[in-house]
């Protein structure tokens, strides 16, 4: 390991690590839309890395970069070793999950329940940071029951950042550890954006990223006046073409002259190649269900995929489903702004 830490790159927009969603297939699809947005793996436990099939859990293609590896665990030595392995695989950064509220994760004593003990988290971060040269970051919540005051969050950020966390992503809701499912925890606790803004004000030299409830480019722009970065969760799979303007608006890249038809042509070839290697088509096609958010024909497109992708689908199923979408929309540059009510209107389907 190099003794010199790599300077962290500022990513104004990222896609949240999401179990069952941010796998290699979804990341491949997103990279056809945005080249610069920071992507994440699903959370991978240290046990899966140290005792499981490393290649299955960690392999990715260079096209997916920049890509962060999110780890789940509570043992500093295991986290340090997993971080070293992740760095060797070529991940851009290593992230520690201190935000997942699920019962299964709590049983393993990691995720959001770790916010009870900032010093324990600091020990983990210090071990991870000392073992790699790539940036080590943290994703957490506003708090948990009993540790849900702003002062608790401020203490957590202070202790963890001193241990070596170079960016802290804060989901602007508390995590309810009893009585709510993970899905309910993403919507029931109220959003507390002002707390995240205040953390940035009190820690001006620390990179702070906001997560939770962000669905539009306008909301991203607004938050970026108060914090360093914005992480998008559910909106990424509900409306993936939201990211078609992210590179130009937030990374300063020229607008890409690509159409949805071209992108789906590449996805069609990807599906064929992966199914030839033994992958189930549904594992890939499920990531494309939200590709035509509020577009005329989207309901029919989703119905065709949903009904047929699980039962020995035709190699041309994706092209069949695309027949429901207007040609004028498929042939439009992905960076263009939609204004035609005859196209952008789910109500007329």
CA distance 238 to 288: 9
Q: Between 293 and 151, name the one with better pLDDT.
A: 151
Out of 100, 121, 168, 206, the active site residue is 100
Confidence at 339, pLDDT banded by 50, 70, 90:
very low
Selection from 32, 40, 70, 69 nearest residue 288 by Cα: 32
CA distance 5 to 13: 23
Structural domains in the chain plus CATH codes: 13-250 (3.20.20.70), 260-348 (1.20.120.1460)
Residue 342 has pLDDT above 80, yes or no: no
pLDDT per residue as tens digits for the range 327-338: 999 999 987 654
Decide: 18 and 43 in contact? Cβ < 8 Å.
no
CA 174 to the chain's CA centroid: 19
Average pLDDT over residues 185-210: 96
CA distance 128 to 113: 19
CA distance 185 to 141: 11
Task: State yes or no: 268 annotated in a binding site.
Answer: no
pLDDT per residue as tens digits for the range 56-82: 999 999 999 999 999 999 999 999 999
Q: What percentage of the chain exceeds 90 in pLDDT?
A: 83
Residue 143: both structure tokens together: 């708090």
pLDDT per residue as tens digits for the range 212-261: 999 999 999 999 999 999 999 999 999 999 999 999 999 999 888 899 99
Task: State yes or no: 18 annotated in a binding site.
Answer: yes
Residue 100 annotated as catalytic: yes
Q: Count the neighbouring beta carbons within 10 Å of the beta carbon of residue 295.
A: 22
Q: How high is the mean pLDDT of the chain? A: 92
Tell me, what's the pLDDT at 343?
39
pLDDT per residue as tens digits for the range 134-157: 999 999 999 999 999 999 999 999
Task: State yes or no: 245 annotated in a binding site.
Answer: no
């Amino acid at each position: 390991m190099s003794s010199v830490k790599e300077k962290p790159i500022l990513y104004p927009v990222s896609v949240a690590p999401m179990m069952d969603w941010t796998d290699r297939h979804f990341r491949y699809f997103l990279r056809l839309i945005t080249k610069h947005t920071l992507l994440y793996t699903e959370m991978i436990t240290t046990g899966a890395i140290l005792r499981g099939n490393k290649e299955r859990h960690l392999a990715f293609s260079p096209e997916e970069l920049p890509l962060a590896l999110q780890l789940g665990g509570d043992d500093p030595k295991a986290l340090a070793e997993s971080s070293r392995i992740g760095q060797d695989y070529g991940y851009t950064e290593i992230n520690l999950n201190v935000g997942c509220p699920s019962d299964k994760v709590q049983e393993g004593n990691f995720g959001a329940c770790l916010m009870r003990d900032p010093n324990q988290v600091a020990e983990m971060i210090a071990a991870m940071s000392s073992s790699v040269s790539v940036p080590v970051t943290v994703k957490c919540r506003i708090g948990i029951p009993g540790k849900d005051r702003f002062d608790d969050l401020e203490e957590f950020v202070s202790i963890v950042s001193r241990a070596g966390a170079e960016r802290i992503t804060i989901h602007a809701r508390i995590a309810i550890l009893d009585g709510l499912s993970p899905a309910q925890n993403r919507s029931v606790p109220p959003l507390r954006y002002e707390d995240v803004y205040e953390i940035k004000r009190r820690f001006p030299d620390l990179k702070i990223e906001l997560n939770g409830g962000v669905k539009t480019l306008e909301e991203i722009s607004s938050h970026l006046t108060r914090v360093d970065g914005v992480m998008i969760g559910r909106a990424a799979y509900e409306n993936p073409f939201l990211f078609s303007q992210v590179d130009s608006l937030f990374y300063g890249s020229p607008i890409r002259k690509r159409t949805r038809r071209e992108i789906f042509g590449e996805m069609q070839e990807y599906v064929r190649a992966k199914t030839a290697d033994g992958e189930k088509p549904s594992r890939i096609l499920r990531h494309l269900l939200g590709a035509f958010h509020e577009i005329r024909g989207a309901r029919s497109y989703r119905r065709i995929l949903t009904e047929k992708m699980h039962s020995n689908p035709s190699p041309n199923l994706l092209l069949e489903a695309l027949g429901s979408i207007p040609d004028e929309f498929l042939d439009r540059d992905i960076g263009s702004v939609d204004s035609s009510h005859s196209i952008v209107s789910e109500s007329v389907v």
